[in-house]
Amino acid sequence: MVIKQLYTGCLSEAAYYIESNGEAVIIDPLRDIDAYLQLAKDNNATIKYIFETHFHADFVSGHLDLSKATGAPIVYGPSTETNFPIHKATDGEVFKIGEITIEVLHTPGHTIESSCYLLKDENKKPYAIFTGDTLFVGDVGRPDLSSGNLTKEELAGMLFDSLQQKIISLPGDVIVYPAHGPGSNCGKNLGPDTSSTIAEEMRTNYALQPQTKEEFIKVLTGGLSAPPTYFPINAKINKEGYDSLEDVLEKGLKALTTEEFKELMKQDDMLLLDTRNSAEFTQGYIPGSISIGLDGRFAEWAGSLLPFDKPMVLVTEPGKEKESAVRLARVGFDKMKGYLDGSFEKWKSDGNPIDLIIDVEADELMMDLPFDENIIVVDVRRETEFADGHLSGAINIPLNDLTDPASMANIDDHHNVYVHCAGGYRSIIATSLFKRQGIHNLRNVVGGWTAIKEQPNVEVVKDASVLN
């Protein structure tokens, strides 16, 4: 028996390859399926089934392309309705894979169709459970993302029943393999690991502690931040279907000459996305670009900040064109029109106009603050991060809010605007958005809050009302 977790850090997502005696299954595949096909080839195995734990909201699944490539049926749990053929499993249905079996456990709560898959080994002993977003390490799936007309309280009640009836009765040594790890927005506060055991979760996970259903619902539904705006878009794509990744990349990986690139940029709705390293972007970029660097949580921020209905062209580090397009496609972008051949250096060497963002160190900010009444410090971290410690007088505009020009209404070009986040990645994105709104007197604070709070005599302010 082979179990391999394929973890994608920028999405905090785990897919799984399981193989026994020449037969394999894939659980929760990403849209780019080459890794799964290669694993099956390397193991001389045939992919027999594609299991989906639920309609994912944070990425576009590879179920359709993988089924087309292998002929394997797509398996969902009960209560699933799709616009494409699936095998709708019944609760308790068992699938044989080589010398092992996988049993479907319907566990509604995160969504109506959410299901876990219990693997039993060659001796019919429960060995591992693939929990999707029903159970994470240290957390459970949030109940407010997708399930028709049901309230988050109703779904939380269903999740309580699912955990009590299907999960906590499993043997303690059963390995827990969830669909997400730390950083995912599919839960409130996932633990640092990407696997666990039933016994460990019974000991440490707040959701599995003795409590009434009413107590569970209150805890689970309290303190939920707004989910990323692209979540319902991805859930709909996964339910209704999508163009093949091959077709998306065929259009998106067209090498554009500078003149072709300029011609496309004349279109009013065309987006220019620069995926180069965020620190490299500040040193020079094409005016009007949005910076979302591949060096951070790229796909997540692209999905949160960019419109899905507009075409885009790409500027990438040479050799990173396909990676950029694939990672965009993972969250549902399919309107890429090509990339600038030769990247920014070609644009610059041809004598075209460029822009840049001035970087300053944290000590320079602290020296300037007492002597410049026009300084505005904009902190683009989340509200809870800001509340946990920020610079006195700073304005909090979370990065997610910068898609709305009204969020910048009180800032204009006579201000000296210093922008920071926690470490520097989000502030580069933010400064590129400020620039597109005509705010050019900007400074990016290198190292962000991590560097600022270490400065001597810095006045740190906290907001307990937000944290409690």
| pLDDT score of 468 more than 60 | no
CA dist., res. 394 & res. 360, Å (int): 17
Report the mean per-residue pLDDT for the chain: 94
CA dist., res. 134 & res. 131, Å (int): 6
Contact between 216 and 39 (Cβ < 8 Å): no
Dump pLDDT digits (tens) for 260-306.
999 999 998 999 999 999 889 999 999 999 999 999 999 999 999 99
| pLDDT score of 373 more than 90 | no
Q: Which segments within 213-268 are labelled E, that is strand?
A: 255-256
Reported residue count of the chain is: 468
Dump pLDDT digits (tens) for 36-65.
999 999 999 999 999 999 999 999 999 999
At residue 467, the pLDDT reads 60
Residue 160 CB-half CA count within 13 A: 19
Segment 350-376 mean pLDDT: 92
At residue 278, the pLDDT reads 87
Question: How many helices (H) and strands (E) are present in the chain, helices listed first?
Answer: 17, 26
CA dist., res. 220 & res. 188, Å (int): 9
Segment 242-259 mean pLDDT: 96
CB atoms within 10 A of CB 192: 9
At residue 276, the pLDDT reads 98
CA dist., res. 319 & res. 336, Å (int): 17
Dump pLDDT digits (tens) for 133-186.
999 999 999 999 866 788 999 999 999 999 999 999 999 999 999 999 999 989
Which region among 81-90, 187-196, 312-321 has the lowest average model confidence (pLDDT)? 187-196
Instruction: Fill in the DSSP letter of residue 163.
Output: I
CA-wise closest residue to 135 among 112, 158, 157, 107: 107
Dump pLDDT digits (tens) for 397-433.
999 999 887 877 778 777 899 999 999 999 999 999 9
User: Where does the pLDDT of residue 347 fall: very low under 50, low under 70, confident under 90, or very high at 90 and above?
Assistant: very high
Contact between 126 and 78 (Cβ < 8 Å): no
| pLDDT score of 451 more than 70 | yes
* Percent of the chain surpassing pLDDT 90: 87
The secondary structure of 349-407 as a DSSP string is: HTT---B--EEE-HHHHHHHGGG-TTEEEEE-S-HHHHHTSEETT-EE--GGGGGSGGG
Tell me the two tokens of residue 254.
Answer: 């067209």
| pLDDT score of 445 more than 70 | yes
CA dist., res. 430 & res. 301, Å (int): 11
| pLDDT score of 464 more than 80 | no
Tell me the two tokens of residue 24.
Answer: 């394999």
> What residues have CB less than 8 Å from 285, skipping those under 6 apart?
274, 291, 315, 344, 354, 355, 356, 432
Strand partners, 38: none
Dump pLDDT digits (tens) for 425-434.
999 999 999 9
**Domains in the chain, ordered, with CATH?**
2-232 (3.60.15.10), 244-349 (3.40.250.10), 358-467 (3.40.250.10)
At residue 414, the pLDDT reads 78
Which region among 319-333, 354-368, 371-385, 453-467 has the lowest average model confidence (pLDDT)? 453-467
What is the sign, positive or negative, of the torsion defined by CA atoms of 270, 276, 282, 283? negative
Q: Which segments within 139-286 are labelled E, that is strand?
A: 139-140, 175-178, 196-197, 255-256, 271-274
Instruction: Fill in the DSSP letter of residue 188.
Output: S
Dump pLDDT digits (tens) for 2-39.
999 999 998 999 999 999 999 999 999 999 999 999 99
Dump pLDDT digits (tens) for 96-141.
999 999 999 999 999 999 999 999 999 999 999 999 999 999 999 9
CA dist., res. 467 & res. 202, Å (int): 27
CA dist., res. 144 & res. 417, Å (int): 36
Main-chain phi, psi angles of 215, to 5 degrees? -65, -45
CB atoms within 10 A of CB 373: 8
CA dist., res. 279 & res. 295, Å (int): 10
H-helix or E-strand spanning residue 88:
strand 87-88
Strand partners, 76: 88
CA dist., res. 23 & res. 83, Å (int): 28
